[in-house]
Amino acid sequence: MPDLQLICDTCKKPIEGASGYLWVDNDKVNTALADAAKWNRKHTIPEGEPLAGGQLFSGADLFDYPEAIQWQAHHHACDPNQDANAYSIQANRIDTWAELLDWTAHLMEKDWLNHTDWDELLRGVHGGTARLVICKETA
Ligand SMILES: [Zn+2]
């Protein structure tokens, strides 16, 4: 009995079984990783140098920080970007709370996870605002 269901970004209908997936674009993630590394090099104060006590970063600096890459959900047929270099999770492999926890633990081992909006995805499950929502059929 599934607890959760993926909602397709294109047709807004639930994704049943193996008819679609949750995915993130690896190329975009790699770009965000590289940009973040560049940003960190530019903004890291060399070790041993005393902090001046002021603000470390200006607002404009933070604005430069690479944005989180969005996880997306699509039916195979609705995916506008089928050739993307995707990291994907088939819908029926992430339709229970236990599976969501397992995926989260697994993804936390990846150095790129915090460059994606997985945190937003988790927060949205309860409120029904994310791509992954609580199953309406569950009694
Ligand atoms: Zn769809």
Q: 19 C-alpha vs ligand 1 centroid, how far in Å?
A: 9
Q: 73 C-alpha vs ligand 1 centroid, how far in Å?
A: 8
Q: 11 C-alpha vs ligand 1 centroid, how far in Å?
A: 4
Question: For residue 92, what are the contacts with CB-CB under 8 A and spacing of at least 6?
Answer: 2, 16, 17, 18
- Reported as a single tens digit per residue, the pLDDT across 3-55 is 999 999 999 999 999 999 999 999 999 999 999 999 888 887 666 655 555 55
Indicate the angle between helix axes 118-127 and 97-108, nearest 10 degrees.
160
Give the model's confidence band at 106: pLDDT under 50 very low, under 70 low, under 90 confident, else very high.
very high
Q: 74 C-alpha vs ligand 1 centroid, how far in Å?
A: 5
Residue that the structure tokens 């927060």 belong to = 123
Whether pLDDT at 108 is above 90: yes
Average pLDDT (117-121) is: 95
Q: 117 C-alpha vs ligand 1 centroid, how far in Å?
A: 21
**pLDDT recorded at residue 9:** 96
Q: 79 C-alpha vs ligand 1 centroid, how far in Å?
A: 7
Q: 76 C-alpha vs ligand 1 centroid, how far in Å?
A: 8
Q: 59 C-alpha vs ligand 1 centroid, how far in Å?
A: 39
Q: 42 C-alpha vs ligand 1 centroid, how far in Å?
A: 42
Rg of the chain in Å (alpha carbons): 18
- Reported as a single tens digit per residue, the pLDDT across 42-101 is 887 666 655 555 556 666 676 778 899 999 999 999 999 999 999 999 999 999 999 999
Q: 137 C-alpha vs ligand 1 centroid, how far in Å?
A: 19
- Domain edges within the chain: 4-40+60-134
Whether pLDDT at 138 is above 60: no
Question: pTM to 2 decimals?
Answer: 0.84
Whether pLDDT at 137 is above 70: no
